[in-house]
Structure 1
Amino acid sequence: MHVLILGGTTEARRLAELLAADAGPGLRVTTSLAGRVAAPRLPPGEVRVGGFGGAEGLAAWLGGHGVDALVDATHPFAGGISLNAAKAAADARVPLLALRRPGWVPVAGDVWHEAGSLAEAAELLPSLGRRVFLTTGRTGLAAFAALDDLWFLVRSVDAPEAPAPSHMEVLLDRGPFTLDGERELLRRHRIDVVVTKDSGGAATAPKLTAARGAGLPVVVVRRPPLPAGVRVAAGPEQALEWLRDVERGVERGGEQGR
């Protein structure tokens, strides 16, 4: 059985680790990384880097490499990749599972402002604060580039792409982050509003707790919806159980063929 994981997330790497520990002699696992991070944390198993050439290219790769199951474990905001995965899986008739960590949920004391896009988030900012902690990644800064009256602290793993805000400081860092560290960061930079995508997970959640404690507003960009009909697992353990079911089906098919 050959499993292709569309990776780049903590959950994708954890699933590859579970499969490596659980693997029998007939299991092959390939993780595909987009190649957008300069020094990614590599999972066990085979690794490929780069795109497939859209849904058609991915479907051809699935068929050409004998893939029996496809797991879309990309970032919750990698909407284009998820659309391509759904179409490719349908065209190649390969079972597909989306591995998605649950989104964040506001609790008492949170001051959240939801936005449907980065552009909507940028429109909200002038009424919420002047010193912005922007944690939406290195791409998409063009949405904030015209806000010349605001100052931005931009945190990302790699250097952000232009165009970008004219008044900003870049902090290159990778989670997980600590609550004490996030509190100190907000204090030191005199942040008065935080912008984040609803990435979910624990690695970057301390900024939400720190903002809550400081009474700061947080602009939360909602996730794009998954393609209709795609099955979803909330964690690597659930994805592993699904893959075991697929593997049993593959084995039964082989026995019937014999």
Structure 2
Amino acid sequence: MNREAAADMDTADLEQQLAKGQALLRVGDVRRAGELGAGMLERFPQSTSAYEFMGDVLLLGGDSAKARAHFKRALELEPANADAERKFASALLNLSQSELDRRMAQSLAAGSVIAPPRDPERSRNAVVAALLFPGLGQLYNRQYAKGLTVFVAAAVGLMLLFNGLVVGPWGRVTREAGDTPLSFSEQMRLVGLVIAAMATWYKLLLLLGLLGFLTVYAYCIYDAYTVAHAQFARGKGRG
């Protein structure tokens, strides 16, 4: 048997073993998949696919550190492997809680504190929810009482501001114009005059209300992000 034929047989055997391993992972048999992966690495020590597979097994088994090592080895063997690079990055973000506790204990013993890893997807989702409307980020983080309170208060405040800055002045212009047709630009000019003619204390009240709403809006975004990060660090994130 020539060398090329032997290489083809090895490749076919490796693909068969990988398919069998993936089938084991699909049914949740991590132990047997791990045994199969160890055998593949012994037979094919230069196979990127074998290291990737073993990394998948270890990650599912909760050993993020060893999973990262296998994905890193796959990248060393094939630097252009985008799939291995993605899995390596994923393993960095999936530290098990026991590993977090161990690292924190080691850090405290050394007299320093390490920051827990961030979960960008969860934090991003919380920020997006908070950007949509105040309180939604808190609801996403399961802070139901806080989220509902902020949502209702912000909704009421926004309606009052809208009434004071838009509905009220526009309604006055419409009433005073009567049946006289006005272009949109004329209506906007008259609305501006109505707002300018408002009492100083009323304009100040509207300004304070607007600043208050924007402050709550900004705080809710910050709070949603920090709480989502803290929940992930405690192992309570939804994933």
- The structure carrying a bigger strand percent of its residues is 1
TM tier relative to shorter chain: under 0.3
Q: Which has the higher contact order (CA 8 A, sep 6+)?
A: 1
Normalised by the length of structure 2, the TM-score is: 0.22
Specify the structure having the higher radius of gyration (Cα).
Answer: 2
